[in-house]
């Protein structure tokens, strides 16, 4: 314990090095300069992310604005188109149907065998499609044709269009205007409607000729959810009008004719078909019936009806309409209706437009055989 004597007091005023070091105030350093501070400010991760987000937002806004502007411009397409007075080279007549006006045409020899021509259904459809047959068959027959309700020079009401409407239209037209058994010639989807009526009302038909008919494979399933969505979109007041006008713009119609009509490719310098289609597709209310067509609301399954058709039945097919599945449709047709006869024409989707002389001769021969 002797070695543990009282500790020697510290000398007054003598600083303790450790305590004085702790006691001395230190300069407070400023915020450390980031390692990216000496580089281009655009390399700031936070600032760069913000700029990228801003650029994306501007891009999206630009695209959205461009889309809106494009739709606004598309909505205005076709507003300079004059009213369509008629689709065929004869005086148009009026036929009242379900409180709407249907325009129809008559020509040829009075009292001769009646031939009724029904145009197909697509976005730019009209009786103009039957011009070649109307003028040629009119040389020795009484010919009739009409613009389907919602197409051509007929009224274009904002109603619900379906297959039954067009079957009823043909039924009423035959009973009220032709008034005797007729030789009916119908194209594509209208051919399916004519087949349905021929099975229901055989007394109105002297014979039936169908051109590239649908109803067994194509346009046979009816409207489903996707179809209802398409129809609703095209019927919408603002957006639907814009999208429809894009579908029936001149470039779109030229492309469509080129794909389905061999003649359109061979005579690309002749814009008559395109201009006629453009005019009829831009009449007031023109999108409502095509909306139903594109949405499959006009589809008509002919499987049962074909078996019941009693009238002489001729089917004319375009050899070059492979994109429509014509070979498969023809094979199915012949299998379901073995009583039918078939003829092939070196043409596309519209044999009666591309080869009117050949198709007129086929129809004329068929009418003579059916009398």
Domain containing residue 361: CATH number? 3.40.50.1820
DSSP string, 204-273: GEEEEEEES--SSSTT-S---HHHHHHHHHHHSTTHHHHHHHHHTSHHHHHHHHHHH-HHHHHTTT--HH
The residue behind tokens 């409607």 is 193
What number of other Cβ atoms are within 10 A of residue 274's Cβ?
A: 21
Give the pLDDT of residue 125: 96
Is residue 292 within 8 A of residue 258, CB to CB? The reply is: no
Is residue 271 a part of any domain in this protein? no
Is residue 35 a part of any domain in this protein? no
pLDDT in tens, the chain (371 residues): 444 444 444 444 444 444 444 444 444 444 454 444 444 444 455 555 554 554 554 444 444 343 343 444 444 454 678 899 999 999 999 999 999 999 999 999 998 999 999 999 999 999 999 999 999 999 999 999 999 999 999 999 999 999 999 999 999 999 999 999 999 999 999 999 999 999 999 999 999 999 999 999 988 888 899 999 999 999 998 888 989 999 998 888 888 777 666 554 445 445 778 888 999 999 999 999 999 999 999 999 999 999 999 999 999 999 988 777 899 999 999 999 999 999 999 998 899 999 999 999 999 999 998 66
Is residue 354 within 8 A of residue 262, CB to CB? The reply is: yes
> Which pairs from 92-100 meet CB under 8 Å and 24+ separation?
92/153, 95/146, 95/172, 95/173, 95/176, 95/177, 97/149, 97/169, 97/172, 97/173, 98/149, 98/165, 98/168, 100/149, 100/154, 100/155, 100/157, 100/159
What number of other Cβ atoms are within 10 A of residue 346's Cβ?
A: 12
Is residue 212 within 8 A of residue 190, CB to CB? The reply is: no
Q: Which of 54, 345, 317, 331 is nearest to 209 (CA)?
A: 317
Is residue 216 a part of any domain in this protein? yes
Q: Where are the alpha helices (DSSP H) in the chain?
A: 17-23, 45-75, 131-137, 163-173, 188-200, 225-235, 239-247, 250-260, 262-266, 272-281, 288-294, 303-308, 326-336, 351-354, 356-370
Q: Measured between alpha carbons, how far is 302 from 214 in angstroms, rounded to an integer? A: 8
Is residue 208 within 8 A of residue 198, CB to CB? The reply is: yes
Is residue 102 a part of any domain in this protein? yes
Give the pLDDT of residue 6: 42
Identify any residues that bridge with 317 across adjacent strands, giving them in sequence order.
Answer: 344
Give the pLDDT of residue 222: 87
List all residues 6 or more positions away from 49 whose beta carbon is below 8 Å from its beta carbon: none
Is residue 87 within 8 A of residue 103, CB to CB? The reply is: yes
Give the pLDDT of residue 273: 80
Is residue 125 a part of any domain in this protein? yes
Is residue 121 a part of any domain in this protein? yes
Structural domain boundaries, residue 112:
93-223+298-370
Is residue 49 a part of any domain in this protein? no
Q: Work out how many domains the chain is built from and give that number.
A: 1
Q: Measured between alpha carbons, how far is 18 from 60 in angstroms, rounded to an integer? A: 65
- Burial zone of 31 (CB within 10 Å; 0-12 exposed, 13-18 middle, 19+ buried): exposed
Report the predicted TM-score, pTM, of the whole model to 2 decimal places: 0.79
DSSP string, 92-116: -EEEEETTEEEEEEEEE-TTSPEEE
Is residue 345 a part of any domain in this protein? yes
């Amino acid at each position: 314990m002797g070695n543990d004597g009282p500790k020697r007091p510290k000398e007054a005023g003598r600083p303790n090095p450790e305590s004085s070091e702790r006691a001395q105030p230190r300069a407070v350093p400023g915020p450390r300069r980031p390692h990216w501070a000496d580089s281009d400010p655009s390399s700031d991760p936070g600032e760069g992310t913000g700029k990228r987000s801003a650029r994306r937002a501007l891009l999206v806004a630009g695209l959205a604005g461009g889309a809106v502007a494009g739709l606004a411009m598309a909505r205005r397409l076709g507003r300079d188109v004059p009213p369509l007075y008629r689709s065929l080279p004869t005086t148009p007549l009026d036929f009242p149907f379900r409180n709407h006006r249907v325009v129809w045409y008559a020509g040829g020899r009075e009292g001769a065998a009646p031939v009724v021509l029904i145009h197909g259904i697509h976005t730019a459809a009209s009786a103009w499609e039957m011009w070649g047959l109307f003028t040629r068959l009119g040389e020795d027959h009484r010919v009739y044709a009409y613009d389907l309700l919602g197409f051509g020079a007929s009224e274009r009401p904002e109603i619900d269009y379906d297959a039954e409407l067009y079957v009823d239209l043909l039924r009423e037209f035959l009973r009220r205007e032709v008034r005797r058994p007729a030789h009916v010639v119908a194209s594509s989807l209208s051919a399916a409607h004519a087949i349905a009526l021929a099975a229901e009302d055989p007394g109105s038909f002297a014979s039936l000729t169908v051109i590239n008919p649908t109803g067994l494979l194509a346009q046979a399933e009816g409207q489903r959810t996707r179809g209802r969505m398409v129809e609703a979109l095209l019927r919408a007041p603002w957006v639907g009008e814009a999208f429809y006008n894009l579908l029936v713009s001149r470039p779109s119609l030229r492309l469509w004719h080129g794909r389905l009509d061999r003649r359109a490719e061979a005579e690309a310098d002749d814009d008559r078909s395109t201009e006629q289609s453009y005019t009829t597709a831009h009449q007031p209310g023109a999108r409502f019936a095509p909306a139903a067509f594109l949405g499959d609301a006009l589809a008509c399954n002919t499987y049962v009806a074909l078996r019941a058709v009693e009238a002489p039945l001729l089917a004319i097919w375009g050899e070059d309409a492979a994109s429509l599945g014509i070979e498969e449709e023809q094979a199915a047709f012949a299998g379901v209706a073995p009583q039918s006869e078939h003829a092939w024409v070196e043409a596309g989707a519209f044999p009666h437009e591309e080869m009117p002389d050949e198709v007129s001769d086929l129809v004329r021969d068929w009418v003579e055989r059916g009398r």
